[in-house]
A and B are shown apart, each in its own frame.
Chain A
């Protein structure tokens, strides 16, 4: 049973495969730009992702392990991405 969550709500230790990529921004041009940047950093459908660090204030920004690369981003930048969780070797 795979659980699908929004990537921006993931906690440290949670990981899985990117289920869908969509960028949410008020301005459509910004949303398109954000989506392209996310894709350029390897956040594509099917990519293996794990949240490995959370920032000291408000658990934001976060560091994601994306197919072996470490990408730092703010949570609100990935609120349009959904993650199909795999086995939770969670720290929580």
Chain B
């Protein structure tokens, strides 16, 4: 024992300020990773006690009971019971919101049965004092059989005392064998009676109870005003994602372009240069460019979550989303997917229930992400005339709107089908606690934002980069024979694949050039624009959309153009999203389910659109 650090696990109800306490204790010395085999975050930090003893602090997922109901809670239970060899705690710290003790007392009684030395941290004690809540600390400590320390995590108060008492309790109490068993309904009722008895004996109700949360709720949860505020908030968020992120995105684009140009300048022409410039730099760039949007999006999500609004948004949207078989909480991940499906899939972690989370992940890529915009813009510019219909509606804008609507509608239909077919009658309660409103702590928001950014970049590195190289190799090898007249890509594997697949795509009106462009277009949707430029030998197609649009409008029929749009509403042309889906579902199977169903829908939609258009004489 002497050479290893003391492992301290923080356990508590959701919203007890457990993570704030963890952040206050560990600061930036925390490591966030996934637990092996599951997509539950493991947060650990190495610190030193006031006397210099090394300690490892674990932040376990919040729970109301050791009786685990979700993958997160399984981790909490297993770590507390010492069932995960990588994290066997020596001491348990029960983190309690001092203003909301009833449910955590029941959890503390369960924790006591585990037999490990335990301490209760009465967090947010300043708020309890402000409310005039009187807690008889000594009596409470005797009643629950563990030392009680008061803390204010956001002001770093009581932390040293907490650590000293943790050491003290470890030195003075030996671990007893666990007598914990999964509580049945009788045990839960008995524990509640016990908790009520302890509360009435040792806690005097507040003299000035929190009325602010109630007042805010009467506005934010109002059936009309609440929905209007929610919609306004979303509108602002959406605007911010596009406008605030634009300078950052331009800067990344410019920076990487300059880097590519510089590398191209100092390196001799050839394969290595092409790999670095066309494969690595532009490949990573096509993903990195979304980082600003992801940061803005997560900034909003973290602020709203910490403020306590997310649970309210889920409450307001539950019935509306529920019609399509989605949980109220699915709302934010789906909204995020309008910027990019990657943060959308990542933020589906806010949904506790496994099935609801999976449904949300499966439909998130159907929302119109910003990478589709360049493709839509190109095809609309080429085929939809700049006309006004019904006197005031711009036809091009109308088509764009229709594409967005098609994405939303298909997401709703698909989730409805998943619910009805796969999880018919599955039982998923909505029940959740609405926390008291709190001012978000800037430090912890910044820390969280940094962690999100790092996770995104690590994934860009580990999953996306190799895939980009594969896509590059397919479009580069083998090189054109000497004296070749066509574009180099025609002679590459991508070209061969394109020509081989052409018969499959002929019924939906795609020519072989389009199919060739779809191969590198797997890297990211907007890459297809550049690829079409390459195939039709239009230099720098992304900045010369007008030229390319002109070429396309001559080469393709209107029916083909429309079919291409329909294809892009559905096709999973984004390996980055697929990589993240694999990561977040921890399953290759679900990723392949997504690939298959989305390609099937894309083909079907393009087929119907093409055939209808031809039937109407637009072929």
Shortest distance in angstroms between B357's beta carbon and chain A's nearest beta carbon? 18
B432 and A34: CB pair below 8 A?
Answer: no
A72 and B430: CB pair below 8 A?
Answer: yes
B185 and A56: CB pair below 8 A?
Answer: no
Chain B residues whose C-beta falls within 8 Å of the C-beta of A57 in the assembled complex: 319-320
Cα–Cα distance between A3 and B106 once the two chains are bound (Å): 31
Given A30-B427, A55-B318; A63-B434 close (CB under 8 Å): yes
Mask for B318-349, Cβ within 8 A of A = 1, else 0? Answer: 11100000001000000000000000000000
Shortest distance in angstroms between B137's beta carbon and chain A's nearest beta carbon? 20
A39 and B188: CB pair below 8 A?
Answer: yes
- Nearest residue (CB) in B for A45 is B189
A56 and B188: CB pair below 8 A?
Answer: no
Cα–Cα distance between A54 and B328 once the two chains are bound (Å): 15
A74 and B429: CB pair below 8 A?
Answer: yes
Shortest distance in angstroms between B322's beta carbon and chain A's nearest beta carbon? 8
B431 and A56: CB pair below 8 A?
Answer: no
Given A67-B102, A72-B315, A74-B318; A40-B434 close (CB under 8 Å): no
B316 and A55: CB pair below 8 A?
Answer: yes
Chain B residues whose C-beta falls within 8 Å of the C-beta of A26 in the assembled complex: 425
Given A25-B427, A56-B224, A56-B319; A36-B434 close (CB under 8 Å): no
The reply to whether the CB of B611 lies closer than 8 angstroms to some CB of chain A is: no
The reply to whether the CB of B433 lies closer than 8 angstroms to some CB of chain A is: yes
- Nearest residue (CB) in A for B99 is A68
Given A40-B188, A42-B103; A73-B319 close (CB under 8 Å): no
Give B426-483 interface residues, CB cut-off 8 Å to A: 427, 429-434
Shortest distance in angstroms between A10's beta carbon and chain B's nearest beta carbon? 16
Cα–Cα distance between A36 and B429 once the two chains are bound (Å): 12
Given A41-B431, A72-B434; A35-B185 close (CB under 8 Å): yes
A56 and B429: CB pair below 8 A?
Answer: no
B192 and A55: CB pair below 8 A?
Answer: no
Shortest distance in angstroms between B69's beta carbon and chain A's nearest beta carbon? 7
B103 and A40: CB pair below 8 A?
Answer: yes
Cα–Cα distance between A19 and B319 once the two chains are bound (Å): 28
Cα–Cα distance between A32 and B458 once the two chains are bound (Å): 43
The reply to whether the CB of A58 lies closer than 8 angstroms to some CB of chain B is: yes
Given A39-B188, A39-B192; A71-B221 close (CB under 8 Å): no
Mask for B45-70, Cβ within 8 A of A = 1, else 0? Answer: 00000000000000000001101010
Shortest distance in angstroms between A90's beta carbon and chain B's nearest beta carbon? 16
B188 and A69: CB pair below 8 A?
Answer: no
- Nearest residue (CB) in A for B432 is A72
Chain A residues whose C-beta falls within 8 Å of the C-beta of B432 in the assembled complex: 71-73
Given A58-B319, A63-B434; A68-B100 close (CB under 8 Å): yes
Give the most central of A30, A34, A44, A54: most B CB within 10 Å.
Answer: A44
Chain A residues whose C-beta falls within 8 Å of the C-beta of B106 in the assembled complex: 40
The reply to whether the CB of A53 lies closer than 8 angstroms to some CB of chain B is: yes
The reply to whether the CB of B115 lies closer than 8 angstroms to some CB of chain A is: no
Given A36-B185, A39-B188; A27-B427 close (CB under 8 Å): yes
* Inter-chain pairs besides A37-B429, A56-B319, 16 sampled, C-beta below 8 Å: A27-B427, A37-B431, A39-B192, A41-B433, A45-B189, A53-B217, A53-B315, A56-B227, A57-B320, A61-B315, A61-B319, A63-B434, A68-B102, A69-B433, A72-B431, A73-B430
Chain B interface residues toward A at CB < 8 A: 64-65, 67, 69, 100, 102-103, 106, 183-185, 188-189, 192-193, 209, 213-214, 217, 221, 223-224, 226-227, 311, 314-316, 318-320, 328, 425, 427, 429-434
Chain A to chain B: the 8 pairs with minimum beta-carbon distance, closest first: A70-B434, A57-B319, A30-B427, A56-B223, A39-B188, A73-B431, A53-B221, A44-B192
Chain A interface residues toward B at CB < 8 A: 25-27, 30, 32-42, 44-45, 52-58, 60-61, 63, 67-74, 77
In the complex, 22 of the A-B residue pairs with CB atoms within 8 angstroms, ordered by the A residue number, are A26-B425, A30-B427, A36-B184, A39-B188, A40-B106, A41-B433, A44-B188, A53-B315, A55-B315, A56-B223, A56-B224, A60-B318, A61-B430, A67-B102, A68-B102, A69-B100, A70-B213, A72-B314, A72-B430, A73-B431, A77-B429, A77-B430
